[in-house]
């Protein structure tokens, strides 16, 4: 447990990534390969795909625009353009300079031999149904994706790199095609975006230190409900 604490205590939300210190493809491959055996999946389906996008400044900036534009449109609709904050979101600005971007989506998949033959009767394998995976597996799929990407984050942190996440982007048909323009093999609306690189600036460094002290988490007793 102490090792986990030491590794994940290094986590700070990145804002600007270095152009000079960039993980190599071999390092990213190693991180992903190490993370994969550490996670599990219901019925060994691993009903998700992770699209890995390598260093490309123009593409990273375009993906940032998709996300930031979505966030801004929500605020403009809610508060009007006159009243909404018109500035780049500090929470997702890491995408703009990210050398490595991982975009996770659902995945249609078939059962392995064990899952095919584990019972004497029939058992429904929903994971081969695109509509079911797209409409009904989003919640459980997101849980499994999160486990995998958290392990990937651990591998990045252990090597001295940084990693951030984003779930604020358009989850519509139009949004899908915005992403597909950059990911030809994309088949589903993304579930989450993860970035990896070496940060030169973190989110908290954009704020006044005194104001940042107000950015507190709830007390643990608000999150945990004991029932003994």
- How crowded is residue 138: how many other Cβ atoms within 10 Å of its Cβ? 15
Fold of 2-112+122-207: NADH Oxidase (3.40.109)
On the question of pLDDT at 122 being above 90, the answer is: no
Query: Tokens 């966030």, residue?
Result: 71
The pLDDT, as a whole number, for residue 136 is: 93
Average pLDDT estimate for 85-102: 95
58 with 95: CB under 8 angstroms? no
pLDDT tens, residue by residue, 62-80: 999 999 999 999 999 999 9
The pLDDT, as a whole number, for residue 2 is: 87
pLDDT tens, residue by residue, 196-218: 999 999 999 999 999 999 999 99
pLDDT tens, residue by residue, 126-166: 999 999 999 999 999 999 999 999 999 999 999 999 999 99
The pLDDT, as a whole number, for residue 68 is: 97
CA distances from 178 to 63, 169, 223 (A): 8, 10, 36
């Amino acid at each position: 447990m102490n090792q986990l604490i030491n590794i994940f205590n290094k986590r700070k939300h990145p804002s600007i990534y270095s152009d000079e210190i960039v993980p190599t493809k071999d390092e990213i491959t190693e991180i992903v390969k190490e993370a994969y055996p550490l996670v599990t999946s219901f019925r060994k389906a691993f009903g998700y795909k992770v699209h890995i996008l390598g260093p490309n400044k123009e593409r990273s900036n375009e993906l940032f625009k998709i996300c930031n534009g979505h966030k801004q449109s929500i605020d403009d609709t809610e508060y009007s353009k006159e009243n909404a904050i018109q500035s780049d979101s500090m929470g997702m600005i890491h995408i703009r300079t990210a050398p490595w971007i991982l975009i996770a989506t659902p995945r249609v998949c078939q059962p392995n031999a064990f899952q095919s033959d584990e019972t004497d009767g029939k058992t429904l394998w929903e994971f081969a149904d695109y509509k079911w995976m797209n409409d009904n597996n989003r919640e459980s799929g997101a849980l499994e994706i999160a486990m995998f990407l958290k392990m990937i984050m651990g591998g990045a942190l252990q090597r001295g790199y940084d990693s951030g996440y984003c779930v604020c982007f358009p989850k519509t048909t139009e949004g899908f095609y915005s992403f597909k323009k950059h990911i030809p093999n994309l088949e589903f609306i993304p579930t989450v975006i993860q970035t990896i690189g070496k940060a030169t600036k973190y989110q908290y460094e954009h704020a006044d230190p005194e104001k940042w002290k107000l950015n507190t988490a709830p007390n643990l007793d608000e999150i945990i409900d004991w029932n003994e």
